[in-house]
Structure formats: C-alpha cells, structure tokens
Structure 1
C-alpha cells in the first residue's frame, strides 16, 4: 500500500494500488510520501540520523519543505507527542518503546493524508499505548486522516476504530469482522508473586546510570530457580539496561553473583554460558543465514543435550509453526517468525540464567500462547532462573510466578 513493492522487494501478482486514480508505484518517492506515510515494524530501520531532532528534520527535508516550515513542524510534533525532552537525545540510546514513539512522531510530522502503522505499539508501555491511540483518533477526526494499523494486540481499540479487518491465512482473504471481537478481549490475570527460596543468581547493592541519569539506586535481589518472573515498568525506565548490566555489557556498581561468587571474576566468554539474553531486536541475535542453520548452531552448543534432542527440537519447531520456513533466510522472515526463531534458539542453548527482552512483540495470540508455554515448560523442566520483559500482559500474567516492577529508580515485588 505504501508503494514499496515491487521496487524494493517482493512481487505484486495481481491488482493495483491506486492513489487518486494513479498507481502509487508510478509516483516518485517524495511525492508519494506527501500522501502516504508508513511506520515500519522495526523503528531502527527508519532512522538515518543521530538525534531525534535531526531525524525529524531529515524526513521533512526529503519532502522539500521550507526551512521555517520544518522548524515549526518539528516543534509542534514534539510538543504534540510529549517528546520535547527527547529533542537532542541520540536515537541509539533510546529504549525500544522510545524509538517507536520517535518513529511515529516522524511519520506524523510528514503530514501525510494516509498513515500506515505496522505494530506501532509492540514495545510501548500501556500508558503510552493509550496516549498514542487517543492522539491518532484525534488526528483522524480533526485533520481528516486515514489511519490503518496492523496489530496483534486488540487492547485499547474499543470505541476507537471504525473498521476491523482480519487476514484469513487459509483462504488468503482479508475480511471485515464484527466489532464484538474487540469486546471479547480477555482481561489479564493478576500476578500473585510467590518466590522459591532456592537461587544461584542475584545481585547485591546493584546500581547503574545512563549518561547523567541514575536509573537504579543500590538494590539487592536473588532470582528464584525454576520460576518465570515478569520485569515490568514504563518505557525508558531502565529494564533493558538492567539486563545489559546482568549480562556484563555495561558498567555498574555493586556485585552480580552466581553461586555466591562475584561474577566480575568470571571471564566474559564463560559468563555468556551462564547468562543467556534474548535481545529486544531479533536480528541482533542471528549468527547464521537460515533458520535451520541458527537452530543447528544452538543444538551443537546446548548445555542440555539430553533434554534438547532432535525429536524435542522438531516438536518445538512444529509448535511454533516454523516448519515451513526452516530453509528461509532468517533476516527475511516476518517479525513474528524472527521472534519465535530467536526465542527457540536461546531456549535450546539453556543457560541456567535466561533473560528475555520483549520476546513477545509482534506475535499473534496463538504464537504468544505457544511461546509462553514453551518458555515456561523449559524453565520448569531445566530448573532455570528466568526473567522476561513484556508490555503485553494479556496471555502472559497467568503463566508468571512473580512480578518485579521497575519505577522511581527502584525494583519492587508486586502482589506479594
């Protein structure tokens, strides 16, 4: 619909996408962008500049707007989305949710009549999701925008959307479905935290900063064995940075402990076989070219070869509906398929400590259920200590043993 196919990949086998009676593929890019703007599923693929302000200016310069118009639009858009304090922040230092908000701001600033959004809230916290949905609805009503959103999570769309469509993967059709589907969204199950006493991993007086900001003041905790915890908190609060500290990717103060031994004395190569980290961006995890090669590499290096037999791996591949894409290039899979491949490859590795950063982003309801069940079963069977970051709560909280909330530079146990 954005006119990127077939010039930049893929094929159109039938039909035409038309804008005001003209095929979108015949319009030059900057003319097309004046009318149709698209937000990619992975926001980092949309960035070309260093800072938030520079990125917005660059996008508007490509529309050949006047310098004064660009200045006014950047200021107005940052104010509209509450991003004034982000203006001079470097894009690479932002959290995944913050990057999505900036990418959305860039699309909105372009002023296109038609806005296409691909999983725009995948890494955005619930408050941010509600705010952005309200902003989009106001734009539709007050500015006459046509907004089309692709999303697996139907939370928050009640009373906002005018049409709801569903892709039928069997019949290869797109059908409009009844709005009662939105009202059938189930409520999340409250987390009643209960922690096992047994633990081999934890931290003592841990604290860290980002630039000049203190993210965590001295804190101590032990991850319980054989349990799956949820690390919750707003975008930019420091959740991913905590995982980076625990996996020794950044400097910190205090101690990270494994079997009562200070991890700072353990070589980084050995530490990587103790702490496994599922990155927020799936493609950062891939080493091999195809999905099969990626799984095979994990199988060769698994720490639990008696558990991860070929039979169990094939069963997991089937459960995650990856059987048909095992010979495909990993980087060309859909966002959801990449997530499932990434999680499975790390589960097969089976480090005793498993940290998962937004492993459910972009997954449909069935895939989310299958991934969560597979993660939980592996954690219990192998007695792993595991913590998961997720803004998606429906379909997640019922499989969680405890919740650790990150707010106000501190971590607290919820509901227990």
Structure 2
C-alpha cells in the first residue's frame, strides 16, 4: 500500500497561489474536460490501484447521462508539481483530485473547494452515516465538507522482538499488556536494547534531515503538543509540552545513544534499528526479515494515548464548470461498493469496512489483531498529522534552525524559540 499525502503536500505553496489567482478570474473554462467530460487526477502508478480507478471512472457515465466520459490523469513522483502548475496556469485544472490532507488544507483555506455534503446527504442510498466521523474532521470547516478521505492510516511502532529479548527488557507488547506503554518507558527500554544489540534503538524516518518535518507528530500529540495552534495562527514550538517532547528525542540521541544522530542511517528492515515509527505499508518490506517483529500502537505520553494518522482524499474545485457532476462522481467513488474496491489498497473511511479481517486482505503480512489495534481503533481516535497552509515556506525557514537541534550540547528550548521566531510571521501571512 502506498500513501501519497506527504508527496502531494510538497506542491502546496506555489500551487495555491496559482489557484487563488485563477479562481479570481470569474467564469473560465475551469476544468480540462468539456461540459460532458470530467477530468480525474490520481497520484499513483500502481497497476492494481489504477485498474480499480479506471474501472470506476469508466462505469460512472452509466449513472449520469450528462457525462459521456471521465478522463483519468496520473501523476508520477517527479512530474506532478509541474503538471499541476501547468494545468492551473492554463485553467485546465482537473475536476476531481486525489489530495493529501496538507494539500486539501491549502485548498480549503484559500476557498477553492466545493462543499460535498449536500450532494452526499441528499442520496439516502449513499449512507452518509456509515462514514466514520473522526476521519472527516480534517476535511471539514464548520458544517461544510470539502473532501472525502479514501485512505486513512494510523501510524504505529514496529519493533524487533529478538533484540528486546536479547536485552532482557519488556517488549512494547508486554508493556501494553501491563499498562506501562509510555514514551518514557519506551525510551528506558531502548537504551538497554541499543547497548546490548549495538544498534540504534529507535528511528523516525526523515525527521533528522527535516525531509519529513512533521514525522514526529505521534510523539508530539502524546505530549499534548503541536507545531502550531489549532487555528494555525500561533507557533507551538515554544510550548513546554513541545520542548519536552523534543528533549526526549535529543536525550535519546545524545544521552542514551539509542537514536541515530543526524547523518547516521538506521533502517529497521535491515536490522540496524530495534524499532521505528511507520504506517502499515512498511510491513511489505519485512517479508524476508530474519527476525521476529510486531506492530503496535504508538506509546502514550503526558497527554495520554494520542495516535497520529495520515490521510488522502477526493476533492472538487468549486470553479469547475462541472462542479455538480464532479461532486456526484465523488459520491460514486466513495459509495459502499466502490469503497470496498478501494479498500483492497487503502484503509477506508466507512465504518462497515473498517475491520481487521477486511484490512488483512490487502495487508497479508500483518495479523488481524495488529490491524485492529493500530488502524481500526485509530480510525476513531487518531488525529491527522499537523497541516498548515504555508507549510512549504515554514519548513524551508525552519530547516537550518533545526540543524542546531542535532548538536550534542544543543539548548532545545533555545532552538525551539528560534524556530518560533522564524515561523510566526509565516503563520499569519496571507
């Protein structure tokens, strides 16, 4: 299974500016299709996923006689930004788009998306009540719903059971059983695991290089912290809760030596780290693993158990000349029948489809219990990763500052203050 929300979010700043300019131009040609054609942009090259999406697109005109065809556009990892910006600049933007939560936030905050709720609610056969409410939060503003997620995956912790056994410390599974599964207890165990096995104890991919700036968000949430306030206007890095969470990572790296310092690699699948933070898609990399492993929910912190989730969903541009048909197509895409088809690759948003048994069909390397504990339970409790309309500019400004975090004698609170000084003007920028 592949999740594109972070890859799509990389288009945010420039894309939104172009869209905002285009949307102010009044009535335009709008989408790349004609009045009887919908354009449907998807961010995948996976043959199985594309077959399902193409089949759904081909079937849609049978349900809407005003639409003769749905043209599917695909994006590759290297050309998506160029393609999107080109289409937006020429006012040929697609009607329906696969968007990550970050990209959707950008669109919503710039008033570019159509409210899908009226279309979905007026059809009793759609069964709107079957949509898990927690999974819709990131796509809503007030009573309006600007996107329907089709992929909602909660992050969990993969750990090497053999390394924990060698170290003679409780495994995460054992800590869960005895009620001691916290970040502090995890840290204590990892220090011993790293020493006994001569490996990195834990690793959050991409966080040390800031290539994935919000990768530590399940840890932040467990501490009751976030990089910015709920309304996105105030920096959160100087919050004592955030400082404590970041101090934990710094101490693991430079006091316990259980976390790799910047520049070191620690791949879990190869056995160079004892644990990692990742989605269910990582299980596919462990098929040939020479060690016993397990997958569990993220630990609790001072704010309790606060799992984090990544999402992708379908959105419609409100200035599309086919906005009504596009919204209807999203309804078709996400009805029970087609949601079940998509569930072959993605954790769905429908409660009726969210079971460990159903998810295991697409995730054979994980057990039903693992999927139930992490993904199914996470669907009702997890919070989507932090998103911000100026995220590209913010993280570009923070990257050199965060280099100072990865120093043995770093004053974490001082680094967080510098981060807020750089971030705050961008949070309120129009």
Looking at secondary structure, tell me which structure has more strand per residue: 1
TM interval, shorter chain, is under 0.3
- Normalising by structure 2, report the TM-score: 0.25
* Higher relative contact order structure (alpha carbons within 8 Å, sequence separation ≥ 6): 2
Looking at secondary structure, tell me which structure has more helix per residue: 2
- Normalising by structure 1, report the TM-score: 0.26
